[in-house]
Amino acid sequence: MKPKALAFGAASILAVSGEPVRVEIPEEVRTVDLGRILGGNVALWYESKDLHTPQLEAHLDRWKPALLRLPGGSWSDEIYWNGNGVRDGQNFDLTKRDGHMWKVDFSGYAPGFRLSKSDGTLSDFHGHVDVKALHDYVKAQGAAAIVTVNAGTGTPEMAAEWVRWAKKEGYRVDYWEVGNELDGEWELGHVGPDGKVVDAAEYARRFVAFAKAMKVVDPTIKVGGPTASNDQLPFVEAVIREGGELLDFVTFHTYPVLGGGKSEAERFAKADDVGAAVEKIRGWIAKYQPGREDEIEIGVTEWHKQVMETRPTVDLSSGLWTAVFVGSMAASGVDFANQWDYFSDVGGGGHGLFGKHGEGARASFHAMMLWREHMGSQWADLGELPKGVVGFATLKEGRPRVMFINTTRDAVGMDGVAVGNDVLTGGYKAWLFSQREYFWNPYEQRPEWSHPARETAMDASKFELPPFSALVLSDEPAERQDEDPGQPALEILLPDEAPADLPVEGFVLVRGGKGAWAGTLDEVELSVEGVGQADRQKVSTVTSVGTFQLSAGGTGRATVKVRAGGMIAEKTIHWAEVKERAQVFWEFAGQESVAGLEHDYGLGVDGQVRPNQTVAVASLEKAIDEPQKNCLLAIKEMPEGLKKDRVGGVTGLLGGSADLKTDDPHAFVQVVVQSNLDHWMPIGKVPLKELVGGWKSLSIPVSDLRVLESMHELYAVRFHLKSKSPVSGRIYFDDLGFILRGE
C-alpha cells in the first residue's frame, strides 16, 4: 500500500466531502516486521555512561529494537576492529605499521584503533568504547547486530576475522555490510593511498572479494552492500549485477531533504522518495538476478530527515516526518532499517533519538513508538484523505489501526472512519502526538516537554485532527474519559537579548503540571510595549503552543504581554545594536595563495592589474556554465581564529579584463556560502557587465535568519559563473573577506 494524500499544498480546515475514510482489508494481507524497520545505530564514540542511564533504559524497554548497527557510520571505514599486537591502551607499536596497513595479531582481541588518513596515519581519537562493548550492548538489548566492515582502509582478511571472532564469542549478527558510503568523497578510502578513486566497478570488485573471504569462515552469514550514501543509489546497480549469489541484501542511506530553503510541504513530500528507490532496486534485481526477487532483502541502514543538524531535525516536524517516513518504508517493502542515530550533542539540532543530558527523548523517537506500540504488522488499504493529511492502515491482533498525520498548521475535520461497510460510531480509543506532547525550546536547545503519544477518547463518527499532529485511531471502545486538566498558566518564550536588525520567533506556552496544559485554550491576546511590534494581536494556542514574530525597528527594550481568561504573562527583550565591520582574510600575495583553492576554469595570480599588488585571476576561454562545473574560485579552508558565528556576509573586490565578454546580458558571478548545516546558500550576485575593464567593491550582507543561523558551521565561500552563453576574458579577485557582526 502506498501512503495516501502525499499531495501537499495550502492547508485549510476541511473534511472528505461528508464521506468517512474507508479502511479495506485485502484478501491476502501483507505482513511487515515493524521491529526490524525500527532499528537504530550505535557508535564507538559513545560514552559507556550514556548508554546505561536509567532514562535511556526506560526508553529501550519501550523500543525493544530488533536490529542495532555498529560500529558507527563513517568510522566503519576508518577503524581496525581489533588492535591486538598493535594497541595497548593509548600506546601503539609503530613497528607493526607496514606502509598504509597495520599488522594485527588476530589470535587474540584488544580494543581497535582508528585511522585519520588512507595512508595509515593514526587518529588521535579511537572512541570511548570498543567493538566488544558494542556487541555486548546489542546482545543485552536482545537485539541482533548489523556490522559494517571496513572496506575503505581495511582488507577482506580483516573482515573475515571479525566474522570468525563474532561467531566464537556467540554474538548474533544478522547482516554484514561491506563498507560505508564509499561513493562519497568525505569517506576515508574513497580515495586510496595511490590516489585512485573508488567507483562502482571498484566497489563491486571489493564486495566480491570481501564476501568470498567472509563466507569461507561462515557460509551461513548474510553479506550485502553497497551502503550507498543517498537514494539516488550510487554503486547499487553494479553490486547487484556483479555480486551474484554472494549478495544477500542491498543497503542504502537517505537524508532526502536537501537544503534549508524547502517549504514544509516539500519536506514532508520527500518522505515518499524511498518508495521510488526501492522500486528501482527491485527492477535491478529482476534484471540481473532473476528468480531472487524475494530472496535479496533491501535495507535502509541510515536515515533521517536531512543531513543538516538544524532545528527541523529535533522539533515536532521531525517527529511527524518520521511517522510518515516509517510508513513509507513499510509500504514500499523495505525489509529492515536503522535510524541515525542514538545520541546528538549538536547546538540547535541533531540526528539523535536522545540527548546526552537526560533531557528526554526527541520527537523522532516518540513517532517511532507510535508505530511500535500502537500500529499493527498487517497491512490494510486506506481511502482518500484531505489535502495535507497522510495516512496508513494496519491490523493489530486482527483489529484495525489507522494513523493520520496532519502536516498542516490548521485543524482538519474528518467525517468518520469506515472499516469495510461498517462505519464506526461512538467513542474509541486513540493516541495523539502534537505540540501538547512535545515542544522543542530553540533558545535553550532542549525539549521543553517530551511525552509519549497521549491516550484519549475519539468520536470516530466525526472528529478533528489538531494542527500539526499524528493520531492513531483504533476500533476499541474507549475505556477512559479525559481527566480534569486543572488550571493553566501562561508563559512567553523569547530570548533575553537579540540583534535589532532581525526578527525573532516567540512562543506562547499554556502550561499545566509538568508540561503542556491538557485543556483547550483557543487563543490569547498579545500586545507589545516599547520598541517593537508583533505580527499578530491574537495567538492560537489550541495545542498549548502558539507562535508569533517580533520585530524591533531600533534598539531598546520591548515588553510582550499576553492575556486570556484572567491570566496574564509578560516577557521583556532587549534589542541590541548590531555593529558590523569588514575584515580582509585573503589578499592573494603570490602563486602559493591560490594553490589550494578549488576551481573549474584555471586559476592563477596576476601582478599587473593593481599597482604593487597581485590578485587572483580566473582565465576564461569560451567558458561554459555547466552544472557542477562552473566554479571560478572556492575557498574551503576558513581562517584560523575566525569566529564563524559572527560572519554576516562576504566582502572584497571583483574585477574584469577589458575583453571580458559574453552574449548573455544577464550573466553574473554567483556568491555562495556553505555550512555543515546547509551545503548551498546563495547570498548574492555580481553582473558580469559591471566588471568589464574595472573593479567593483563587493559587500553582500546577509539578512536571511536561516543563513545567519548556519554560519557557525561555515566551511566554504564560493564564486560561480552563471551564463547562458560562453564567456571569454579574465575575472579578478582581491581582498576577499567577511562582514563580521557584533564586533
Looking at residue 143, the DSSP 8-state letter turns out to be P
β-sheet bridge partners, residue 661: 728
Closest CA to 50 of 459, 354, 491: 354
Cα–Cα distances (Å) from 704 to 216, 346, 648, in that order, read 57, 22, 10
Give how far the C-alpha of residue 245 lies from the chain's centroid of Cα atoms, to the nearest Å.
34
DSSP line for 26-71: -SSPEE--HHHHSEEE--TTS-HHHHT-HHHHHHHHHH--SEEEES
Q: How far apart are CA 50 and CA 36, in angstroms?
A: 24
The answer to whether 653 and 677 have CB atoms below 8 angstroms apart is: no
CATH architecture of residue range(s) 489-576: Sandwich (2.60)
Q: How far apart are CA 371 and CA 34, in angstroms?
A: 8
DSSP line for 410-425: S-EEE--EEETTEEP-
Q: How far apart are CA 558 and CA 551, in angstroms?
A: 10
Fold (topology level) of 580-741: Jelly Rolls (2.60.120)
> What pLDDT is attached to residue 568?
97
For residues 583-607, one letter each, b for 16 or more C-beta atoms within 10 angstroms of the residue's C-beta and e for the rest, the string is eeebbbeeeeebeebebbbebebbe
The answer to whether 318 and 361 have CB atoms below 8 angstroms apart is: no
Q: Where are the domains of the chain?
A: 30-308+325-342, 489-576, 580-741
Cell numbers 546526552 correspond to what residue? 356
The answer to whether 377 and 401 have CB atoms below 8 angstroms apart is: no
Residues of the chain with pLDDT under 50: 1-17
Q: How far apart are CA 70 and CA 68, in angstroms?
A: 7
> What pLDDT is attached to residue 259?
66
> What pLDDT is attached to residue 743?
59
Report the SS3 class of residue 705.
Answer: helix
Amino acid 14 reads L
Question: Which helix (DSSP H) or strand (DSSP E) does residue 670 occupy?
Answer: strand 668-675
> What pLDDT is attached to residue 1?
40
Question: Which helix (DSSP H) or strand (DSSP E) does residue 208 occupy?
Answer: helix 200-217
30-308+325-342: CATH, from 1.20.1250.20, 3.20.20.80, 3.40.50.2300, 3.20.20.140 = 3.20.20.80
**What region, left, alpha or beta, does residue 125 occupy, with left being phi > 0 and alpha being psi -120 to 50 degrees?**
beta
The predicted model scores a pTM of 0.88
Number of Cβ within 10 Å of residue 483's Cβ equals: 7
> What pLDDT is attached to residue 6?
31
